[in-house]
Structure 1
């Protein structure tokens, strides 16, 4: 078997975690399987880099830079000493060079009083740059040959959209040549989260983009399966912090996991399924700390059981925008004007709902995009295209997901009847053409309660054949 295995930040958080990862990889390597690895930054590192980089352009001084560099040095060196003691001198030199480069760019951001998207991508790629050499050394410590690549060296070519780059199709042939050719003799380690443009400029793939990296590399090497190792037993029927009896799903379809990830499920990156789906590669989500559990299998056509709804999730920190006006009725080009204005300000629209009268369009956007969205839409009022724009931050979006909903009469009625009995007011409703997702918007305080009500209504805690 040929595997691509990706290990997230909690899976590589310290030396003990790294050794646990190597135990897993060693078992498959000795069994004769071919394995490539994608690694994330250690837990919390990327957040620290983002926080400081965003603070520096307006900071009074740059005194926070040296302490962060010292912290990163000590954390990674402690991990290295614990996981690969025979390779301390060799890898320490690499870590020191990378920390020096990181420090220089952080000072430059402070001195220039500017953080460009390009420099931000460069800074936040350092979590993976510091960790991957440690992982490679830990494998060699066990006698397993390993070469370490950054995303660019591995062949991940991307668009130039910094912070949310998309892989180009010709990445496949480069990855196959660079990584696929090594699998019979070693376990290559690839830094997740990053790639580069065709001109060699570093890009990142969005938060949790190491999942996307894994799928890109897995597709490039024609893996039999892509395994996403994390700190939970698999994809669950809902967030266990909200539903204490949430259950691990044995199997879900590509479309179901894409809907879940888009609407806030933390296990997978929203775009990470696409490269695997393109090549029909099985994806499995497993727990590094409980490797004997089978996890959740993600396949093209999920297991259709008697349960209509398979999982629930919700997103906080969103905002609703309501666009009203009788002048919108029957007027061509209104939707184009709205969406073009938002696209020009790079506002991501998460949900859309339009009344049949055409006098109202409701949108859901990330709360961080709200101010830009309102600024972009205000000229439409001045120009008489719409009458009024209002917004509300006190909302959250809930998604009810299940391939079994397609063609199943009465599902929507059952959902909203249950919510009505619980006294939950639904503000906006949206359903995609796939029928695998019914989404709705409620007040923020009603989000967790909505999920609990529907989890009970559809008996998601119970096993089903």
Structure 2
């Protein structure tokens, strides 16, 4: 299903999403205005995140409210300062700040912070930034309107903190955006459920919002503006010689996002894939750089590997029981326990009497582990990491896997587990966390330098 098109409307549209660092202060917001002005012929829809650091501050304020503190001075002063630097009235966001204060007082009175309340509090970051950015457009002579996504049709399920759009929302959302005079400046990250409660799409969800909006309006391209030159061949913090990639497939980009590449939110791919809309990752500070375009299909890399990502702070859980021998359903029971406790699994390896799997150490695993110990022996080893090599057809590229294992052997890194994805897009290797930086560097040197 492609995006929704309003009959008679010009087909060419782009979605330009700007993250928190791109709208962090007045000079950067002026850059956003300039970038959109230069693309007026492509009918931009702008999607914005909260100002850098504001979402974390809002979460902090919500927890402070439980202890009786309901001040909003930090939020107010931050936005007033940006407005003043833009030459705009500092009381432009006074109504939103007052609404936030009232909500925090309510939390103090009730003495409870529910996921629904927290979503509502977090939404103020984008609600404030969209008003500031839209006003900055108007100050530069461009017609623009701040649009709260939940007011123009972005309807989600009621999974507070990680909501997903309803399939039925796209047509109405596209129609409403087509009616906006000038440039719509849409709140990223937020929507509403069928009851009208504000929801959030998960941390980093403004990318997701941009993709949802792109599908709704039938955009020709979804642009994710960041502070790096597109998607890189590895984390530049680990590999100074990492380089920007020209093109990725949706499958490759989704794998990279899941395994730790911080440029694109994993869910961003879903609406774009459905509508077959290219996603381009660009650098706000180097707009002349072509960045990385993400397409439904992309040519394979010469050496089989497009990029290397990693995820740290993982636990290796080993479940052992002789009851697994010749007994159907035992493994299903293990995964039923893990699923009920919402433990997300990254890698799995099995033998006759053992199942080994990895998961994020940061979540509370004890309830699930206690239940597993009722049916089997359970061993937990922390401080592991996954190194993921991504590329379409990676297993079919001659010599790639041999090069991987030879490189790790030469670096004296002993893999604990290896997983070959059924999709033939990635190879994942579990290593000790202390070795992850060395593994990424040596593998990058082998395939890219």
Structure 2 equivalent of residue 342 of structure 1: 338
| Deviation digits for residues 95-133 of structure 1 (CA, Å, limit 9, x no counterpart) | 222112222222333443322111111111111111110
Structure 1 equivalent of residue 8 of structure 2: none
Structure 1 equivalent of residue 25 of structure 2: 14
Q: Does 1:365 align with 2:373?
A: no
For 2:186 and 2:410, locate their aligned partners in 1 and report how far apart those are by CA, in whole Å: 51
Per the TM alignment, residue 155 of structure 1 is displaced from its structure 2 partner at its CA by 1.6
- Normalised TM-score (structure 1): 0.90
Question: Residues 379-398 of structure 1: matches in 2 within 5 Å?
Answer: 379-382=371-374, 384=375, 386=376, 388-398=377-387
Per the TM alignment, residue 219 of structure 1 is displaced from its structure 2 partner at its CA by 0.5
Structure 2 equivalent of residue 167 of structure 1: 165
Aligned length: 438
Structure 2 equivalent of residue 83 of structure 1: 86
Root-mean-square deviation (CA, aligned residues, Å) is 1.7
- Normalised TM-score (structure 2): 0.93
Which blocks of at least 5 consecutive residues in structure 1 are unaligned? Answer: none
Structure 2 equivalent of residue 245 of structure 1: 241
- CA, structure 1 residues 200+22, in 2 after alignment: closer, same or farther (shift >3 Å)? same
For 1:400 and 1:193, locate their aligned partners in 2 and report how far apart those are by CA, in whole Å: 29
Structure 1 equivalent of residue 151 of structure 2: 153
Structure 2 equivalent of residue 128 of structure 1: 126
Q: Is 2:347–2:357's contact at 8 Å kept on the other side of the alignment?
A: yes
Q: Does 1:271 align with 2:271?
A: no
| Deviation digits for residues 146-173 of structure 1 (CA, Å, limit 9, x no counterpart) | 1211121132111111111111111210
For 1:216 and 1:335, locate their aligned partners in 2 and report how far apart those are by CA, in whole Å: 37
Q: Does 1:47 align with 2:56?
A: yes
Picking from 114, 117, 142, the partner of 1:119 is 117
Structure 2 equivalent of residue 309 of structure 1: 305
Q: Is 1:154–1:190's contact at 8 Å kept on the other side of the alignment?
A: no
* SS of alignment partner, residue 400 of structure 1: strand
Question: Residues 350-361 of structure 1: matches in 2 within 5 Å?
Answer: 351-357=346-352, 359-361=353-355
Question: Residues 101-116 of structure 1: matches in 2 within 5 Å?
Answer: 101-116=99-114
Per the TM alignment, residue 136 of structure 1 is displaced from its structure 2 partner at its CA by 0.7
Q: Does 1:221 align with 2:217?
A: yes
Structure 1 equivalent of residue 370 of structure 2: 378
Question: Residues 315-334 of structure 1: matches in 2 within 5 Å?
Answer: 315-334=311-330
Q: Is 2:207–2:224's contact at 8 Å kept on the other side of the alignment?
A: yes
Picking from 385, 403, 411, the partner of 1:422 is 411
Picking from 429, 439, 445, the partner of 1:450 is 439
For 2:330 and 2:99, locate their aligned partners in 1 and report how far apart those are by CA, in whole Å: 49
For 1:318 and 1:48, locate their aligned partners in 2 and report how far apart those are by CA, in whole Å: 27
For 2:58 and 2:335, locate their aligned partners in 1 and report how far apart those are by CA, in whole Å: 33
Which blocks of at least 5 consecutive residues in structure 2 are unaligned? Answer: 1-11
| Deviation digits for residues 280-324 of structure 1 (CA, Å, limit 9, x no counterpart) | 101100011111111111111113242211101111222222111
- CA, structure 1 residues 361+188, in 2 after alignment: closer, same or farther (shift >3 Å)? same
Q: Is 1:253–1:301's contact at 8 Å kept on the other side of the alignment?
A: yes
Farther-moved stretch of structure 1 (33-42 vs 101-110): 101-110
* SS of alignment partner, residue 266 of structure 1: coil
For 2:312 and 2:64, locate their aligned partners in 1 and report how far apart those are by CA, in whole Å: 24
For 1:329 and 1:103, locate their aligned partners in 2 and report how far apart those are by CA, in whole Å: 60
Q: Which runs of 4+ in 1 moved over 6 A?
A: none
Q: Is 1:406–1:434's contact at 8 Å kept on the other side of the alignment?
A: no
